Structure 1
Amino acid sequence: MQPIHPEPLTPAVFARFGDVLDATGDFRLINDGLCQRHHDRARLDFAPEISLQNRPGLSIFNATPRALPYIFDLIERHPEGCQAFIPMTQNPFLVIVASSPNDKPRAFLTNGAQAINLHRGTWHGVLTPLHAPGLFAVVDRIGTSANLEEYRYPQPWVVLAV
């Protein structure tokens, strides 16, 4: 197996794959000064024709937790829209991305207060919570045309414990 060491998830390092969604940086106070609004944190990008058959949607995913070391050989991408994973708990989760199936994948570990938005067409691993429950709100393209491409590596990768 080919080893990968997980990296901390930071906006600068993750920028080529997507957006890190967290409550840091600039904000404005709303709700009578009792709420910080961290505005417009993700670049939502969907196929150009928005209609009832091709539109942004919000789904709930309940994924089985995994443990480190984590072995995988499958990555996927969505050519017609971005995909945001927003944890509904404050547990860290693993994010695996690659520039292409020919490049070495990278693994990022969220800090428990971060969500991600994967850019349209970004190769990524499957949803990988590290703790139960693996409950996520997911914003992505809802449509009738195919929006999933998968690739299996000839040899598996293993993400090692930090």
Structure 2
Amino acid sequence: MAEIIQAEPLSATAFAPFGDVLEAAGSPDRIINEGLCRRFHDRARLDFGSGRAGLSIFDAVPRALPHDFTLVERHPEGSQAFLPLGGRPFLVVVAPDHDGRPGRPRAFLTAPGQGVNYLRGTWHGVLTPLHAPGLFAVLDRIGEGSNLEEFRYPVPWRVIA
């Protein structure tokens, strides 16, 4: 039997221990391009350790709620940012670290146009779009050495809306 997690709306305050909410919200920091562009400046705590920043495109298969999972992962050498190219909501699963292992997960539902940046070492679920196409721009570490740790919970978790 799966343990139940109630998905929460994604907010900067609730998500802060795990990373950054990426969105054009609030007042812009700067007006640029002859007044035709609002810049929401420096919105993510990017960290690539000894590597460099790389920009990739991911194409993930959409899922639906309720969503069952056992697998979470983390990247000890760098942060990882996900920006949906279609502007559609997606599911974000994170878990606090408890002595090198993930604790009880939390789930968030993004609003249209929101992305996330996971801090270095944050346990998180795999990319889970809720609508097609599942295209995302992903900014993460490119470099030598392993930057992936995976963990499987012994009992599935079920995320509900």
Query: Shared fold by TM > 0.5?
Result: yes
Q: CA RMSD in A?
A: 0.9
Gapped runs of 5+ residues in structure 1? Answer: none
- Pairing of 1:126-141 with structure 2 (within 5 A): 126-141=126-141
- Pairing of 1:1-162 with structure 2 (within 5 A): 1-27=2-28, 28-47=30-49, 49=50, 54-100=51-97, 101-160=101-160, 162=161
Q: TM-score, normalised by structure 2?
A: 0.94
Look up the SS of the partner of 1:40 in the other structure: coil
Q: TM-score, normalised by structure 1?
A: 0.94
Aligned partner of 2:84: which letter?
P
Tell me the matched-pair count. Answer: 156
Q: Could you report, residue by residue, the CA deviation over 1:122-143 in whole angstroms, capped at 9, with x for unpaired residues?
A: 0000000000000000000012
Gapped runs of 5+ residues in structure 2? Answer: none
Q: Could you report, residue by residue, the CA deviation over 1:2-28 in whole angstroms, capped at 9, with x for unpaired residues?
A: 000100000011000000010012312
Aligned partner of 1:30: which letter?
I
Cα offset for 1:72? 0.2
Cα offset for 1:112? 1.2
Q: Distance in 1 between matches of 2:40 and 2:132?
A: 27
